[in-house]
Structure 1
């Protein structure tokens, strides 16, 4: 990294060679697949036990089979991360959304105003609920679940939407506190 570049994090970022073997192997596998190391891996490697827990829960939510597509899961992340003003997650997951949706415009639309985005009424209801969980979870009630059920979401889908929103609320807060910088590579992916 050039000395002119801002730091990846305000906290120490360990050298890959100093990381526990399992974490190092995961990071190198991601680098091999994507061509770069997303900064979230480097930043969270500062606390190995939390790194492992974070990515275990991330993978359980984002990579599982179910009625929500991988692109829809990313829509939830992008919309709620925008409301939480998380630059890292909007940029990084925006790139993943563009790739998974095979649509170069969708991430910007969802991040700026998902209600105006070129998405289905079902997806808008999903994001409405995710946003409510993110911003006003205390106000979630049966009427919210009824709306989702009217769009053919199951109870398991409702749990997934809520869990993704809640997990990324935590992630957004960590990214903001650490001043996690999005990798430059994310900006061009899927465009």
Structure 2
């Protein structure tokens, strides 16, 4: 089992992924709808066993994570990172830590999260975002109309708070898919 790291990890499925050489037309078409638009990973090939649900999931993911309006891209990446850390998904945490750093050059925030977790020392805006993500990921039924007040007090609009909620929700689902379909390994580990 891999540990939390900013370094790239390898994800290995428990089920054999779809073999591109013998994939159905529907599976091949589905695999073209990737988040990056360029890589057909083992995760994508595993989800492609059910091409219709893979396409629906990926279109929703792309809409939430790459929307031009609303929450800033770097905040979406931080929410994805924090949610993945809370859910114990080291693979997603690694991917989104690197994306967050590339957008913000704030490796210090990622380091603080990896060393001290969500209880680390952060500026008040980031702390409000982390705390909201934590409560939403751990106990969504306890969220109420007052839950977003701290975010509003730190300048987040209602639209941006909805984007935070959608990002936590899609990553809570994505993390669970990653956990139940396979596991992460250090890129240096052998099978």
Using the size of structure 2 for normalisation, the TM-score is 0.78
Misfit runs of 4+, over 4 Å: 26-29
1:154 Cα deviation after fit: 1.3
C-alpha RMSD of matched pairs (Å): 2.6
Aligned positions of 1:157-168 closer than 5 A: 157-168=160-171
Aligned positions of 1:4-153 closer than 5 A: 8-17=12-21, 18=23, 20-26=27-33, 29-31=37-39, 37-112=40-115, 113-116=117-120, 120-153=123-156
When residues 43 and 63 of structure 1 are mapped into structure 2, their CA distance, relative to the original with a 3 A threshold, is same
When residues 83 and 24 of structure 1 are mapped into structure 2, their CA distance, relative to the original with a 3 A threshold, is closer
Structure richer in helix, relative to its length:
1
When residues 91 and 151 of structure 1 are mapped into structure 2, their CA distance, relative to the original with a 3 A threshold, is same
Structure 1 residues 167-188: Cα deviation after superposition (integer angstroms, max 9, x where no partner): 1111111111112436839xxx
**In the alignment, is the contact (CA less than 8 A) between 1:78 and 1:90 conserved in 2?**
yes
Q: Secondary structure at the match of 1:181?
A: strand
Tell me the distance in 2 between the aligned counterparts of 1:65 and 1:111.
29
1:105 Cα deviation after fit: 4.4
Tell me the distance in 2 between the aligned counterparts of 1:40 and 1:155.
33
Structure 1 residues 90-119: Cα deviation after superposition (integer angstroms, max 9, x where no partner): 1222222222223444434334424435x5
* Structure 2 unaligned spans of 5+: 1-9
Q: Please, which moves more after superposition, 129-138 or 66-75? A: 66-75
Match of 2:4? none
Tell me the distance in 2 between the aligned counterparts of 1:83 and 1:54.
21
Tell me the distance in 1 between the aligned counterparts of 2:97 and 2:91.
10
Structure 1 residues 132-154: Cα deviation after superposition (integer angstroms, max 9, x where no partner): 11001111122222211111111
